[in-house]
Amino acid sequence: MASKFNANAGDRVYKHTLKLKLGGGNFGEVWLAHDEALDQDFAVKLLDPSKTSIHSELQEARVGHKMDHDNLVKVHGADVGQFKGSSVVTLSMDYLPKGSVLTLLNSGNFMPLGDAIRITIDTLRGLEYLHELDIYHNDIKPQNILLGENGEAKLTDYGISAQAQNGQSVAARASYVLHQAPEVTASGNINAQTDVYQVGLTLFRLLNGIGTLEAKHSSLGRAAFLDAATKGRLIGKADYQPYLPSMLIRVVKKAIHHDPTKRFQSALDMRRALEKLAYQGRWTTNAGGELIGCDSKHEYRFEATPKSRGKFDLTTFKTNKKSGRETKVGAFTKKNISESEKNDLQAAFMLKVVEG
């Protein structure tokens, strides 16, 4: 979509010289820009107030300026005026060159469980701070979680956040449909539990595939998608990776429960549940899309070879990282088994790698 601002590298917007376009959409654009007064680079949003209002755009700046936490992106300044004949609101905020957590996805479009848990814990820490200020983020998704200098996760984009009083529910200004909690569909109101729901769906997508929810929305359509979420039928057992431990799945299911009273009642509760989990191994994919497991000493892989009459041979391997020697894992290697037996044995092998 063409930008109404027609901005180019080298253009001056107030005290900022634009350097590199980082992204954009219906709201406007995001640029890496140099603040000539402070001699420092910032990420600068060029916002189109005709899409909402100047008041709404500045609300994001007011919320973001309050942020003083390692897991939240801070907004440092805001301006209102004209640029190339168009009204524009600019917000300058921390520039994080590592981008969003989407850069950590493997070729299978997911990330190893340890990384996903760590990123979610960081996000929940930032969310706890927001909730202490009686602010609901309302737009928690992988694209809005950036990576800091040391790889820490930082929640950003306060464009549709809302200020509450004493932890009460408040009307949502807008919603991200894929992560819309069932009670928001019914009432239009958001609270701490709707943010927890969004964190839960974010964790689900990081663990199982970023595109899972988009595919469901595309196949079902908006109305059926929201209805499935309302009835707790949006995500089923088959949507989870076979190697995910039951305790981790339990955390995700509790966070995204369709009944808000059965969810974690705070970001702190969910963070504590995740911090209790520790796993020795992980699975990821190589450049060719093949699943590869590893722990501190070994790498793991498996081969499933089709035989006649619907049977399979399953061979599992481990490679010593130090010596490079590969051997078969006999307990999970079997010949001439059915497809269901092969799937069960393969899942048991993968889970054993994770849990040790």
Cβ(148)–Cβ(206) under 8 Å? Answer: no
Cβ(165)–Cβ(171) under 8 Å? Answer: no
Q: Residue 313: beta bridge partners?
A: 305
Burial of 68 (0-12, 13-18, 19+ CB in 10 A): exposed
CA 71 to CA 264: how far, in whole Å?
Answer: 20
| Beta strand ranges found along the chain (DSSP E) | 12-13, 16-25, 28-35, 40-47, 75-83, 86-93, 135-136, 145-147, 153-155, 162-163, 170-171, 189-190, 282-285, 291-294, 298-306, 312-320, 326-328, 334-337
C-alpha distance from residue 218 to each of 25, 32, 213, 281 (Å)? 20, 33, 8, 34
Q: Is 45 annotated as a binding residue?
A: yes
C-alpha distance from residue 134 to each of 58, 72, 105, 197 (Å)? 18, 15, 32, 17
Q: Please report, in range form, the residues annotated as the binding site for ATP.
A: 45
Q: Please report, in range form, the residues annotated as the binding site.
A: 45
